[in-house]
Chain A
Amino acid sequence: MRGLHLLVLPIVMLGAVPFAWAQQEGGGDPDQQTLDARALKKYFAPYMAGVKDCYAANSLERTATGVLRLEIVIHPAGTVMKFAIKAPGIIGAPLRLLDGCLRTLSETWHFPVRTGYTTAVLPFQFQHVSPAPKPSAP
């Protein structure tokens, strides 16, 4: 909402608690076969500014909850081969724009090569806040 007297403070909660597992019964090193949460957090870091910009530009409605979840499948070669978002409170055209913005970005993301596919859920939280009051002139 254009007239909203709030600033957008994206608080990125990416990787508050990283978990990662491999599904193979009986073991296997998840770090070698797939990307674990620690690696995802590390290699996604350069892309977070872009995610923030996309969300800030397309979450201007009051209904936006500040929650964003990216669900991606990463090809063994390191590229994103499937992409979806969940952004509660953002609907209609803004959601389509947000999806398009992030989807375009995702085509530029690269992760380390692994022997298997990785599917990942990446959660973010953003928050609208008021601007800090300017100090009054002496």
Chain B
Amino acid sequence: MRWLLLVLLVACRDEKAAPPASAPPTPPVVTAPAAPPLDETLKQHMWKHFTAISQLQRAIARGHLDEAKELASWIATHPEPRQEGWEVYLDQLHGAALEVAGAKDLPTAASLSVHLVRACSRCHQARDAIVSFAWELAPDDGPALQVQMKRHQWAAARLWDGLVGPSDELWNEGAAVLATAHLDTVQAAGGTTRGDVSALAAHVRELAVRAVKLEDTDERAQLYGELLSTCAGCHQIVRPRPVK
């Protein structure tokens, strides 16, 4: 006869309280000690983290290496509320931020920046965090470059959210849209045909096709770094001066 018992853990604990399913059976019903939910201060703090890291990767994509390094320095040095069990992830976050702050160029910053987001997602996974994001419908495709870029940005944002969550659905959603997103490279290059721009646009599509097939979060992060670097490279060509 099977029967079910439900223990609701309503609170934060150091690490996963439950032993793995393969562990020797334990006596049923071990009620987890209640702990207070994440307070508003900490919530706002986490929001600042997310905002800073998101801004950092956008700065890289737009070609603002200095801004990215400045944000990385802030992440590396600002005081953190020390929560028990968070230390290892905060150390990873700060270590990655220091690396980005010392990056010599945009491609290096792009590849290093994904270590930041992995620190976040590892913490979320280890602590079984509920993670939520704002979401929006994918913009329609169209012939105008601005419309096409919005669709690229939307896809990149879903990939990013998919890494932070981590979330397979968001990652796959972003990858699928990016793999089919059009980009008028002639329009992007100011009305001229440029081989380097075409090659970078093709590389973005190739990365997106690869992204669809990836399941491992570390591999996804590595690919995202390459994607970010490719975006930045293309933007540097077509917009020699970084876009605000």
Contact = CB atoms under 8 A, between A and B. Distances in A.
A21 to B, nearest CB: 4
Interface string A68-85: 000101000000001010
Interface string B50-63: 11001100100000
Contacts of B165: 71, 121
A48 interface: yes
B46 A21 contact: yes
A129 B55 contact: no
Interface string B5-21: 11111111100111111
Interface residues of A, number: 58
B79 interface: no
B127 interface: yes
Q: Is the interface of B mostly helix, strand, loop or mixed?
A: loop
Interface string A59-74: 0000011100001010
B20 A131 contact: no
Interface residues of B, number: 53
B168 A20 contact: no
A13 interface: yes
Contact of B51 (A25, A34, A119): A25
B170 interface: yes
Given A16-B9, A19-B129, A40-B130, A73 B51 contact: no
A101 interface: no
Contacts of A34: 132-135
B13 A12 contact: no
Contacts of A13: 9, 16-18, 128
Interface in A109-137: 116-123, 125-132
B224 to A, nearest CB: 16
B132 A14 contact: no
B161 interface: yes
A65 B22 CA distance: 8
Given A23-B54, A24-B134, A33-B134, A7 B161 contact: no
Going nearest first, the 3 A-B pairs with the smallest beta carbon separation are A130-B25, A13-B128, A119-B135
Given A16-B12, A132-B27, 19 more contacts: A9-B6, A11-B6, A14-B8, A18-B38, A18-B130, A20-B47, A21-B51, A25-B58, A37-B132, A52-B4, A53-B4, A66-B18, A66-B20, A71-B170, A82-B169, A121-B124, A121-B166, A127-B21, A127-B26
10 contacts: A10-B5, A14-B9, A20-B47, A21-B132, A22-B134, A25-B58, A41-B37, A65-B21, A118-B134, A129-B5
Interface of B: 2-13, 16-21, 25-29, 37-38, 43, 46-47, 50-51, 54-55, 58, 124, 127-137, 157, 161, 165-170
